[in-house]
Amino acid sequence: MSSSPAENGITYASAGVDVEAGDRAVELMKDAVKATHNSSVLGGVGGFAGLFDVSRLLTYRKPLLATSTDGVGTKVAIAQAMDIHDTIGFDLVGMVVDDIVVVGAEPLYMTDYIACGKVVPERIADIVRGIAAACSVAGTALVGGETAEHPGLLGEHEYDVAGAATGVVEADALLGPERVKAGDVVIGMASSGLHSNGYSLVRRVINHAGWELDRQVSELGRTLGEELLEPTRVYAADCLDLTRTFPVNSGKGINGFSHVTGGGLAANLARVLPQGLLATVDRNTWELPAIFKLVSELGNVPLADLERTLNLGVGMIAIASPEAADAAVARLNERGLPSWVMGTVAEDTGAFTGTVDYVQGAKGVDGGAVRLVGQYA
């Protein structure tokens, strides 16, 4: 039997893609995007490509470009369940630009990508407004993006977000393992909560406990959903302020950073240490925030699993020369970012190799080692 053509013809809209809705979303978001633009951004919103004037790089002796890309992970499921979409952008921007500052680079511009089952203009605009607000905090221009409607692949209320950014650093100011030396001091910077890693574990624990997102939790001082949706803290501006105040080339400055994301504190810190050095981090120097205690208790999650999955209250780490450490901590606290000395770097004698709290190398990097000691305050 031959198939007959559709009575009224098949259109893109009848296939599930609403081009006009996409246009409306752009109209709703464009003012927020423009607010991130500086004099280096050329053109407006809606071009095929974002343009950024890099004439300033002519003043560099040897500029190195740094790039990073990431997403938000299953935290988007919390945003969708709560129908709150204007904070998830902070999670996206934080995951991207704070990887760039780890090498000492200034994130110049960013682009985003949103895939959804159905374009709801207000929802898409809320997501992008959050991205733009976070870019403003980071001092990064949002120069372009894409929204793709994928009916049949994603549900009507489902979406995912991703982004990429480019930054620049002077070659002789590049941070990395080769900068870190024995005697350096490890500085912790407080996270705002779970950030955007480990949500598959967290959601599994919550579901196992039978807790709903609207449950008021006294330990948290708010609902569970509000806590889980707390935006990621964006560290870029604070880290760049440190590198400018305590330059690496001074010999008494900031020698490295580690962004504590998937894999936890020890694994991410080990990535930025050279072979032969050991960072000893004292758990007793900070108290676990309530949400991490809650996840641990509700799911009876082993400490080792918590430590290699969640940030446990530390979102970024600085490694400083001993002469700069106290002043760097004071500087961060003055900027409103709770920070403290949490450990030191020394030669790795091999005495702790193979012990439960010892991590050497991670994520394909055969770097230094980290040892966690003590109990959380």
**Cα–Cα dist 312/319, whole Å:** 19
Q: Kindly list the structural domains of the chain, giving each domain's residue range(s) and its CATH number in brackets, ordered by start.
A: 17-170 (3.30.1330.10), 177-373 (3.90.650.10)
Tens-of-pLDDT digits for all 377 residues of the chain? 445 555 667 666 666 666 677 677 778 778 878 888 888 888 777 678 888 899 999 999 999 999 999 999 999 999 999 999 999 999 999 999 999 999 999 999 999 999 999 999 899 999 999 999 999 999 999 998 889 999 989 999 999 999 999 999 999 999 999 999 999 999 999 999 999 999 999 999 999 999 999 999 999 999 999 999 999 999 999 999 999 999 999 989 999 999 999 899 999 999 999 999 999 999 999 999 999 999 999 999 999 999 999 999 999 999 999 999 999 999 999 999 999 999 999 999 999 998 989 999 777 778 899 999 999 98
Q: Are 147 and 50 in contact (CB under 8 A)?
A: no
CA 85 to chain centre: 17
The whole-angstrom separation of Cα 247 and Cα 245 is 6
273 phi and psi, to 5 degrees?
-110, 145
Q: What is the pLDDT of residue 1?
A: 46
171 contacts: CB under 8 Å, gap ≥ 6: 61, 62, 63, 64
One-letter identity of residue 147: T
C-beta of residue 220 within 8 angstroms of C-beta of residue 291: yes
Rounded Cα–Cα distance for residues 11 and 253 (Å): 62
Q: Which residue has the tokens 């938000």?
A: 72
Sign of the CA dihedral with 323 first, then 325, 331, and 334 last: negative
Query: Helices (DSSP H) in 4-120: which residue ranges?
Result: 19-34, 75-82, 88-100
Q: What is the DSSP string of 151-197?
A: BTTB-TT-EEEEEEEEEEEEGGG--SGGG--TT-EEEEEE-SSSTTS
Task: Give this prediction's pTM.
Answer: 0.92
Per DSSP, the three-state class of 229 is: coil
Rounded to 10°, the helix 322-334/236-245 angle is 140
pLDDT at residue number 237: 98
Nearest to 323 by CA among 235, 239, 247: 247
Does an H or E element contain 205, and which?
A: helix 199-209
Nearest alpha carbon to residue 259 among 232, 223, 279, 299: 232
Q: Which of 112, 111, 104, 113 is nearest to 66 (CA)?
A: 104
State residue 212's pLDDT score: 97
Q: Please, are residues 253 and 324 in contact by the beta-carbon 8 Å criterion?
A: yes
- Measured CA to CA in angstroms, residue 22 lies from 9, 18, 71, 126 at distances of 22, 7, 21, 13
pLDDT at 14: 64
